[in-house]
């Protein structure tokens, strides 16, 4: 599952680059974020390999890096989200308040679940399942770059997030097929993720959410686009 999620993420960003939707001519903060993100992905895959090979000393040593990497992921991710919102209001196929508020909330959810997984290292069943749910959160950007997002307006954000739940659901199915029950780590992790997403959407579409979004983009080019998702004039797939 680790390599499948990694493939989805890498494929999404690679496709965007190949089609000219992304460019290396981006602000420094974007490059820093990309480096930190890909570094985390490499660390997650390395941990998967060390666990499968039962190289527990190396697994524990590499795991210590995660305590420092997670805050970097959150800081870099939030910085880029705010930067993009202020530059152009975010992707046109997402409502701006969704992109800013729900995006940041789910990133914080990733951080919380990942730390919980680290604190449960002694209990491997909890540890690996919670980390899988945390990683599923991060597949959203990859999935969003693989899907025909403009065709999903006005539900592009919700559909993308919903698809990230496929990975923990596959894990649950594997548990049920093998053990006849679903490990509680999946139920707790997925339940927390779903709750955070629902609450983030309620906040995004509340007066407070609109006010926060307006405050962030005030006086910037991002304020010139509509709050809701839209198709730019003359846009073609």
Within a domain: 129: yes
Within a domain: 82: yes
Within a domain: 75: yes
User: What's the pLDDT tens digit per position in 115-124?
Assistant: 999 999 999 9
Burial of 174 (0-12, 13-18, 19+ CB in 10 A): middle
Range of the domain at 163: 27-224
Within a domain: 233: no
User: What's the pLDDT tens digit per position in 35-58?
Assistant: 999 999 999 999 999 999 999 899
Is the pLDDT at 16 greater than 80, yes or no? Answer: no
Is the pLDDT at 6 greater than 70, yes or no? Answer: yes
Residue (of 237, 233, 143, 126) closest to 188 by Cα position: 126
Is the pLDDT at 21 greater than 70, yes or no? Answer: no
Residues with Cβ within 8 Å of 200's Cβ and at least 6 positions away in sequence, in order, are 101, 102, 105, 106
Q: What is the pTM of this model?
A: 0.93
Cα(173)–Cα(237) distance, integer angstroms: 36
Share of the chain above pLDDT 70, in %: 96
Within a domain: 49: yes
Residue (of 163, 125, 144) closest to 21 by Cα position: 144
Number of domains in the chain: 1
């Amino acid at each position: 599952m680790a390599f499948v999620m990694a493939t989805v993420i890498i494929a999404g960003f690679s496709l965007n680059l190949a089609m000219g939707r992304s460019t290396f001519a981006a602000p420094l903060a974007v490059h820093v974020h990309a480096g930190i993100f890909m570094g985390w992905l490499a660390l997650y895959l390395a941990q998967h390999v060390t666990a499968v090979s039962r190289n527990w000393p190396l697994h524990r040593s590499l795991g210590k890096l995660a305590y420092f990497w997670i805050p970097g992921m959150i800081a870099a991710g939030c910085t880029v989200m705010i930067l993009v919102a202020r530059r152009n209001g975010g992707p046109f196929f997402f409502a701006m308040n969704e992109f800013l508020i729900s995006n940041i909330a789910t990133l914080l959810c990733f951080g919380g679940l990942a730390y919980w997984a680290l604190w449960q290292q002694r209990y491997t069943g909890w540890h690996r399942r919670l980390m899988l749910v945390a990683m599923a959160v991060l597949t959203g950007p990859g999935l969003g770059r693989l899907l025909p997002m403009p065709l999903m307006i006005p539900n592009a954000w919700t559909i993308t997030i919903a698809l990230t739940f496929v990975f923990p659901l596959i894990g649950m199915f594997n548990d049920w097929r093998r053990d006849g029950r679903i490990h509680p780590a999946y139920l707790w992790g997925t339940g927390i993720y779903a709750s955070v997403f629902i609450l983030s959407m309620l906040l995004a579409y509340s007066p407070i959410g609109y006010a926060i979004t307006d405050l962030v983009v005030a006086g910037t080019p991002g304020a010139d686009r509509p709050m809701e998702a839209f198709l730019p004039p003359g846009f073609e797939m």
